[in-house]
Homo-oligomer: A and B are copies of this chain.
Amino acid sequence: MIPETIQKFIEVFSKLPSIGPRLATRLGFYFASLDKNSLSEIEKAVGGFKFLNRCERCFFFKDKNKKYCAICTDPRRDAQAIAIVEKETDLLSLERAKNFKGHYLILGELAERGTLETTQKLRLQNLKDKIKKELNGKVKEIIIAVNPNTFGDLVAGIIKGEFKDLSEKITRLGRGIPTGGEIEFADEETLRQALERRL
């Protein structure tokens, strides 16, 4: 009873993260009700992604007509501090915190194994080469900003070993009670870390 076009849309969009069949249906009928101009705006917005690719330095997304991403080409940013993150959205979150002014490396989401995948190894190798060739073989700080869980800890250990001669400091993000959080509701592991790393 639902027209094929809308049905197909619902099928495709239901599979997207945070969009279930309910929201996909709602969107489908909303799109169906739009005029040609609004539709073409949406089509253009979706059609742009095929022209995106990744920065050759940090592997963040960049528009195809640019060689590096906006962060790697910003002269105000410090190439001597490099934060290694899993996802592009982790980079965005750190940027929102506004107190890191260095460069990044997007590693890709960690598998639940605690080891590195081939692409991840290649990206780390790329960073090593960059430090050796363009940054006199040593940077001031590498911040391993992968998620603080068992797999993150294992991978952080591996990265620490590989970069020990290429950076003066290798750090991880602080761990403890989130600001605004309550001690009463913190889980044991968080409290243990908060006690161990007390200020």
Contact = CB atoms under 8 A, between A and B. Distances in A.
Interface in A95-145: 95
A50 B2 CA distance: 16
> Size class of A's contact patch?
35 or more
Interface stretch (A30-38, A158-166, A189-197): A30-38
A9 interface: yes
Interface stretch (A41-49, A168-176, A178-186): A41-49
A149 interface: no
Contacts of A42: 12-13, 46
Q: DSSP class of A's interface residues: helix, strand, loop or mixed?
A: helix
Contacts of A25: 89, 92
Contacts of A13: 42, 45
Contacts of A95: 1
Given A1-B95, A49-B39, A6 B61 contact: yes
Interface of A: 1-6, 8-9, 11-13, 16-19, 23, 25-27, 29-34, 36, 39-52, 61-63, 69-71, 87-89, 92, 95
Given A6-B61, A18-B23, A29-B87, 14 more contacts: A1-B71, A4-B63, A9-B45, A9-B46, A9-B49, A11-B45, A12-B42, A16-B27, A17-B27, A18-B27, A19-B27, A29-B88, A39-B49, A39-B50
